[in-house]
Structure 1
């Protein structure tokens, strides 16, 4: 099996490496439900390990509910009910019934005004929506009457562009899925940052595409690395979040963005930019759609700006890809509900209220980043860039998988860093903390205090026991 042979560790303990290799392959779709794992003897030979080590790996996968063993037939990838959801979020993070548990996992950005804003916008939309939009079907790209009203939700540098190039989707996730289903073919390559929103890796795997991780530094994607990936692989698209990148928080400079555009021109690369957090970074450089409009798709939505229930995404798409995307949406779901689109348009026209909500979020995120830095010190990377989330480097000897259950036992949920990795062998030395998921500052402070206690518990457990022997 090539996956084992190509990624077998040359040095160090083999069991944790192999267990992680198989688990990641199952989670990201490299191994799909129903696939048969190789016999133990073959797998151990490919990995260069003992039969007993590989048996431990298979047993661990079975305990985790990822595979099932059938006597006389072999070991097969299982299809648990929550496997797809767990690719994006840890189990149990989506609204736990345990109110004592503080959730720092999901980037739910709480606004005190959001609920009333959505309810009122839905009521106004229902009252004013023309009968023809209620009783009839619209275009796959969205009702054209709505588009000019929605343009204020885009980056300021894009608001004077043609509203006809705007396509409505059911959120950014739906837009990404639609783009990959129509603008890349099976076996094509997609360039991504080495760390990104876990849903991206899941979409790429489900479409049978190849994920190419590009090297980055503190300013984002390295142009030379992107150029090399495009030269060596059949890469058609770059999926990137250059503003408030998830999970690192990096915002790429204008100079670096211009260098990325040069590579895209030379390699005929389509840039797909997820700008879902752009409203929290008003000082950021213009998006790729302003720098290279003919080769860039710009994505944003209302789930982070207002509320997740308002599933309306906006895709600014070049003319030559616009019809393809609209046709694909028609085959998927026909159209975005005009009622939802009208509510989004109603909210988009309340610019003063949206600006005030964004300013409030930025102020809260800065205050909470300061709280995090004060309690965890130098573990927080790029403290000035922290807005919706913070990327935390764990102390030496501490892994994300070690910390997560201990943090949970202290009453706080965190996201392990490996979930964001687009490489087969993930880094386990980081966690992500959502800064704006807690409704109150006090709840956030309590969550960070519990996280610090969990780290302290691990440190104490690692200390050697005092020598009690007598000479």
Structure 2
């Protein structure tokens, strides 16, 4: 076994932080796969010429980020990217006010599911939903999905749709269909951890594209395509996670022009696209033959349905079905039928309207709480209808330390490093997910604690 020795020359600053940064970098690049054993504290200290306490502090910090773990008799070993995976699990609401999980707000009193299940049972043939479904049944559900896309201004053929277990499953299916292990995928320089998890699972590399206030820069995309770094891009043009940026129409046209000129493929993830009432049309409407469009009901209606929609303009019906079968065989017929019934009877749209109203109320709470900090180098990006805000901190305040301090006070949020494609890239910001708090009162308490922490 080769002993891991971190290269600290790339990471200036305190040595313990350099060890943690090097560890994260080597995990990201594959030098340290999950399960790799790390040298004991004293051995690494001797190799680096530092005190044992420095290595102990570094390992403790890495463990707090869930990069490493330890067991008696096994030593210290790499967990991988468990810290980012924690974003998919709600924080324990008995102990924390959760502002870390990007989930929609929940109504305090919600009987839509009970009514929907009662209506299904009243049909008398609900038991059929426990079996494999006929092509006719799936076709009816794809038609409902096409109607949902039409509400977003996205024309779609039901024959070009596959139903997936959420948007992440849809993106993974699209990449499995159109890429090969070892390919490089072009993504925003800041992207959601789920995209990184997909890349690891499929053996893909990610290339970060520079961004500005309007989203991915066309020149960055053009350069990557010209240099043949990759031929597929995965972008989130509306309410980008985590930065909240929505590409204006002009930027979307510029991105479409670059894609068209290089004959490149875009997977457009539009899970937040239904939330704003004034979002520009999807890029897919500008370049329909080169854009695979992905969305779901998770951020706008109900995440528990796990109802994702993938529209591929070029793949045959058989190819699309094979892509689904190769990953999960099929989505849950029961969940799909519930989702489609809600689309057809207006429940989904009603829940979308409620979500917009609730987010507007929560946004007012969040903005008012942080308003006194205006002018102190703190910038809180929270556009209308966004379920998450992007809190950019001044140079003198470290985002990771602030995240840890907030957690000690009972508030969970997400530090910017979780979203960097290249983990050593500086990102001094916090993502604040206002939908995850268990009601407006909890959100108000959390935001006041956040204000006090930042003002201190």
* TM-score using structure 1 length: 0.83
Distance 1:355 1:150 in 2: 15
Alignment deviations for residues 368-413 of structure 1 (CA, whole Å, 9 cap, x no partner) = 3432432443523334456211100123322122112211222211
Distance 1:76 1:260 in 2: 45
Distance 1:363 1:446 in 2: 17
| Residue pair 2:276, 2:385 contacting (<8 A) in 1 also | no
1:423 aligns with 2:422: yes
1:98 aligns with 2:97: no
Q: Which moved more, 1:152-161 or 1:187-196?
A: 152-161
Where does residue 52 of structure 1 map in the other structure? 50
Distance 2:374 2:134 in 1: 52
Query: For 1:326, which of 315, 321, 324 is the aligned residue?
Result: 321
After TM superposition, list the pairs within 5 Å mapping 1:62-211 onto structure 2: 64=63, 66-67=67-68, 77-79=77-79, 85-89=82-86, 94-99=90-95, 101-112=96-107, 115-128=110-123, 133-134=128-129, 136-138=131-133, 143-154=138-149, 156=151, 158=153, 160-211=155-206
Distance 1:408 1:157 in 2: 37
Where does residue 444 of structure 2 map in the other structure? 445
**CA 1:328–1:42 in structure 2 vs 1: closer, same or farther (change >3 Å)?**
farther
| Residue pair 1:188, 1:235 contacting (<8 A) in 2 also | yes
Alignment deviations for residues 201-240 of structure 1 (CA, whole Å, 9 cap, x no partner) = 1211221111100001000010110111223344132111
Distance 1:368 1:86 in 2: 28
Q: Which moved more, 1:274-283 or 1:210-219?
A: 274-283
Is the partner of 2:371 in helix, strand or coil?
Answer: helix
Q: Which moved more, 1:122-131 or 1:432-441?
A: 122-131
CA RMSD of aligned residues (A): 3.6
* TM-score using structure 2 length: 0.85
Is the partner of 1:364 in helix, strand or coil?
Answer: helix
Shift of residue 165, structure 1, vs aligned partner: 1.2
Is the partner of 1:192 in helix, strand or coil?
Answer: strand
Shift of residue 5, structure 1, vs aligned partner: 8.9
Distance 1:194 1:417 in 2: 12
Distance 1:110 1:315 in 2: 24
| Residue pair 2:130, 2:334 contacting (<8 A) in 1 also | no
| Residue pair 2:11, 2:22 contacting (<8 A) in 1 also | no
Where does residue 396 of structure 1 map in the other structure? 395
Structure 2 unaligned regions, length at least 5: none
Where does residue 412 of structure 1 map in the other structure? 411
Structure 1 unaligned regions, length at least 5: 460-471
| Residue pair 2:98, 2:437 contacting (<8 A) in 1 also | yes
Distance 1:22 1:209 in 2: 21
Count of aligned residue pairs for this structure pair: 447
Shift of residue 135, structure 1, vs aligned partner: 6.0
**CA 1:412–1:69 in structure 2 vs 1: closer, same or farther (change >3 Å)?**
closer
Query: For 2:358, which of 325, 349, 361 is the aligned residue?
Result: 361
Where does residue 17 of structure 1 map in the other structure? 18
Alignment deviations for residues 280-304 of structure 1 (CA, whole Å, 9 cap, x no partner) = 1121111022111111111111121
